[in-house]
Amino acid sequence: MPRDVRSVRAWTCLAAATACVLLAFAAALAAQTGYQPSPENLKSRAWFEQARFGLFVHWGIYSELGAGEWVMQTHHLSGPQYEQLAAQFYPVKFDAVQWVALAKQAGVRYIVVTSRHHDGFSMFATKQSKYNVADATPYGKDVIRQLADECHRQDIKLFVYYSQLDWHHPDYYPLGSTGQWEGRPRNGQWSRYLDFMNAQLSEPFTNYGELGGVWLDGMWDKPDADWQLPTTYALIHRLQPGALIVSNHHKQPNPGEDVQTFEKDLPGENATGWGGAAVSQLPLEVAETMYGGGTWGFDLRDMEPKSLPDLVQYLVRAAGNNANLLLNVGPTLHVHNR
């Protein structure tokens, strides 16, 4: 038998064996959780486990005040008060090409960017609400679309961070553990809010080409609420079967989630009080910020970044725990160097 034919058959057998292993893994997982990841999803998981380094970007209208991404909560700003920030948002130096190129130069394999944080303001052009960067700001451009287009061009995967918690939407009710200040609407409909959230979540996975996945946050605000996660997760996996669902709820992964993430803790550790969840068999990730004071969004009071040796050491420790490091930066409004 000619060598090239033997090689082709060998590779064919190897590919078939690999597919069988992946399908067997999917079947075993489905038997345990009721969720069966697609072949595209399993392929994405395998890629994610090898990525090792991601960039987290916390950027929104809260960046204008230089007091972190929780400023609406910490200062108990009402909706009308906070909305004034949108009317002033004009990031003259934002350059998606430069952002993605810089990330790629640093060895980043994927970027997670805040498409909507707890303040409820969307950094993309959503049809579900006018409270977004394209409709409510003088800037008038879709930030997420620009980053998605550039990530596709430079072969970097883009994940959208999306907050399930919302301090602005009138239907986010009953209120959770945050947002308990005067002036918050207290007569909304929870089911209507979930419909809004799912409709909005579907837009990035419909309008911006192939995405790496979604990074969800905020469910911890109402841990006992009926979040109807199977509906949300099935929606995302239907729109993009290869998309990975990451949820920052500080507990064991739920069926339908594809990555287990840990906030400021290595897998299994609990220095923050949020960790300690058992380490699953899913791909793992550790989210940490580069700033010494621990902020995620731009904060004028937190000007000292962690040292380069400390960050490299943490990257190595994360890899030693079979986890990616998702390292956060918080740009200013004008995207100057911090």
Mean pLDDT by 10 residues, the chain (338 residues): 44 47 44 78 98 98 96 94 96 96 97 98 98 98 98 98 97 95 88 98 98 98 97 98 97 97 95 91 97 91 89 96 97 59
Residue 206 is encoded by which pair of tokens? 């419909």
What pLDDT was estimated at residue 210? 98
**Tokens 């009926």, residue located:** 226
Judge residue 188's burial from the number of C-beta atoms within 10 Å of its C-beta, 0-12 exposed, 13-18 middle, 19 or more buried.
middle
What pLDDT was estimated at residue 146? 98
What pLDDT was estimated at residue 276? 85
Compute and round to an integer the Cα radius of gyration of the chain.
21
Q: What is the DSSP string of 31-82?
A: HHHS----HHHHHHHHHHHHH-EEEEE--SGGGGTTB-TTHHHHTT--HHHH
> What whole-number distance in Å separates Cα of residue 232 and Cα of residue 162?
12
Q: What is the DSSP string of 244-255?
A: EEEEESSSSPPT
Residues with Cβ within 8 Å of residue 21, at least 6 apart in sequence: none
Residue 164 is encoded by which pair of tokens? 């399930």
> What whole-number distance in Å separates Cα of residue 334 and Cα of residue 283?
35
> What whole-number distance in Å separates Cα of residue 182 and Cα of residue 205?
36
Residues with Cβ within 8 Å of residue 84, at least 6 apart in sequence: none
- The number of CA neighbours under 13 Å toward the Cβ of 337 is 3
Judge residue 17's burial from the number of C-beta atoms within 10 Å of its C-beta, 0-12 exposed, 13-18 middle, 19 or more buried.
exposed
What pLDDT was estimated at residue 161? 99
Residue 56, beta-bridge partner list: 112, 328
What pLDDT was estimated at residue 331? 94
What pLDDT was estimated at residue 334? 59
Task: Please state, as a whole number, how many other Cβ atoms lie within 10 Å of the Cβ of residue 267.
Answer: 19
What pLDDT was estimated at residue 96? 98
pTM of the model: 0.89
